[in-house]
Chain A
Amino acid sequence: MSTVLQGAVAPAGPARRVHRLEPAALAGVMSRDVVMFGRYWKSTTFSSVMQPVIYLLAFGLGLRTFVKIGHLGYVQYVGTGVVATAILFSSAFPGMFNTFVRWQFQRTYDAVLAAPVDVEELITAEVLWISIRAGVYGLAPLLVAIAFGLPPEAEMLLVPLIGFVTGFGFAAFGVTVAAIAKTIDNFNYITSAVLTPMFLVAGTFFPISNLPAGVRTVAQINPLYHCVQLVRDASFGNLGTADLGHAAVLVGFALVMWRLAVWQLGKRLID
């Protein structure tokens, strides 16, 4: 072993100054995610794409002869709405489960934080990676809807960006949940009480204008509602000034959740 150690230690260059939120640190943490993705992309992609596509086919095809919303066919309506569902599922769940497993079971975060990476960089990188993925997965239902006759629009190219911003917020929401949860079973409360109503009451399957006034107000606070509106307006080539408001809500949600995730998980990662 000692002969091998001839080269044990590399010459240490003069240490350069490190900064806050270094791209190199983010890239380092994300490189790990990329390697893991290389191993698990099939199952991850399958679950992230299949679930919304099944909703789309079940509701869209099942109800299309009965339902028409405005001038839209129901497949088009649901196809665009389910984009938001795909984004939600592929961001909130990895945010919750990956964080909890890597932090509590695999102690990966302990190892990363012993390197020159701080909590803010670690969480930001994890959330960034999830939201990039969510932006891509959000396209799947749209492609299916196109296959069922939704006319392609140039503005659809904005959908990955909308998915990225929405996914960022929900991934950070998932990280926050993981930070606060005592056990992984507690995620069930969030899934049933928060995520399920959220994806149903967002104008995904039916317009919220049909809901009672109280519920409608609640629905308007739902970030997913704003995501649905944006995606629909982009997909149908109807983008207007109202969409600036939707975009602002999503950006605001992402920023608030990001800081909350850094604060809550940071509090628990550092003794």
Chain B
Amino acid sequence: MTGGGLEEASERSRGERTGAAAISLRGVVKRFGEIVAVDGLDLEIPPGVCFGLLGPNGAGKSTTMRMLTAQALADEGEIEVLGYELPRDSKQARMEMGVVPQLDNLDVELTCRQVLTVFARLYRVPRAERDEAVERALAIANLRHRADTIVRELSGGMRRRLLVARGLIHGPRLVLLDEPTVGLDPQVRQELWTLIDSLRERGVTVLMSTHYIEEAERLADIVAVMSHGRVVAQGTPAELVRSHAGAEVIEVYGSAAQLADASERAERNGWQSRRSGPALAIMRAESLNGGGASEAPEGVRRPANLEDAFVTLTGEEIE
């Protein structure tokens, strides 16, 4: 398989549905009894981008992911994936997409090769291409040397790589990654980031849910911030930072009393602020105007980042 074949493929799919969104959700609601997990969600994901769904735990990200494979059915609203209407044509949509779940659901009793072979069949990879697809996926997972090892005996990082490779076995043009690096050590996380980035470079549309700000900031072309089941803001990471945290932030360090004083002063002047670990961060430091500007507390000035915007938007602290 060469890169050339791949470009052709992505060109062809672009040609088929010009301008159409890879994923589109309109007014989607999902309830579990009394709990409203997704509450009027609107989302348009253009083809070929890496789209980050960023939100705290419980924001409705995983439920949204499950609705995109029709493993959860929306109570209200419309969902389209790759031009197919869900849930009616969801099986057709799943033919062309790959899914990497948050929870490891690999068959622990099979070998890596067996896992991939079974999924090559489930994804209808033609018999003549199956062995090649499996070898390619083993290479993606960097598990060629462990092809005949039983999944149970793999390390956590290897299992996650196998999980990703399983979702790529059929060369999907859309990949859903639900919290792809949760619980992984930094080195494995870096590897997966490289992998995700290379998918996007190849024209594959990636939808990734995450509650790691850094992950969204590094990988996503567009980030939608989710909170309480809906999108509260959307844009490139830079746009989100600019419009919700400004250009600069002053971080004030000091005793509890000093911080309380600074916080009170921020409130009096209508400055956005948040607790950031041991410090108080005041947003939009570049424009603390009016009489209050002279009151601006002493502190460390730093560029605003996505974390500032995220906390402003969701009101949630970062773990």
Contact = CB atoms under 8 A, between A and B. Distances in A.
B171 A9 contact: yes
A112 B140 CA distance: 21
Interface string A235-259: 0000000000000000000000000
Contacts of A108: 105, 107
B50 to A, nearest CB: 14
B94 A28 contact: no
A124 to B, nearest CB: 14
B22 to A, nearest CB: 13
Interface string A46-62: 00000000000000000
Contacts of A27: 121
A36 B198 contact: no
Interface string A79-116: 00000000000000000000000000011101111111
B129 to A, nearest CB: 7
Interface stretch (A10-18, A167-175, A190-198): A10-18
Interface in A14-73: 14-18, 24-25, 27-29, 31-32, 35-36, 39
B301 to A, nearest CB: 37
B102 to A, nearest CB: 11
A7 B2 contact: yes
A183 interface: no
A39 B125 CA distance: 24
A32 B120 CA distance: 11
Contacts of A213: none
B154 interface: no
Contact of A10 (B99, B122, B136): B136
Nearest to A107: B105
A18 B95 contact: yes
B139 A7 contact: yes
Contact-residue size bin, chain B (C-beta under 8 Å from the other chain)? 35 or more
B71 A271 contact: yes
Nearest to B68: A114
B119 interface: yes
A24 B118 CA distance: 11
A117 to B, nearest CB: 6
A8 B133 contact: no
Nearest to A271: B72
B98 to A, nearest CB: 9
A30 B125 CA distance: 16
A154 interface: no
Interface residues of A, number: 41
Contacts of B114: 35
Contact of A115 (B72, B94, B129, B194): B94
Contact of B170 (A2, A10, A35): A10
Interface in B196-212: 198-199, 202, 204
Contacts of B117: 31
Given A2-B198, A114-B101, A39 B109 contact: yes
A18 B107 contact: no
A271 B99 contact: no
Contact of B122 (A4, A12, A16, A115): A115
Interface string B1-43: 1110110110011000000000000000010100000000000
Contacts of A12: 9, 12-13, 96, 170-173
Interface of B: 1-3, 5-6, 8-9, 12-13, 30, 32, 63, 66, 69-73, 91-92, 94-96, 99, 101, 103, 105-110, 114, 117-119, 121-125, 129, 133, 136, 139-140, 142, 166, 168, 170-173, 191, 194-195, 198-199, 202, 204
In order of increasing CB-CB distance, the 7 nearest A-B pairs are A10-B171, A28-B121, A107-B105, A271-B72, A114-B99, A11-B9, A115-B122
7 contacts: A11-B5, A12-B9, A110-B71, A111-B106, A113-B69, A116-B94, A118-B91
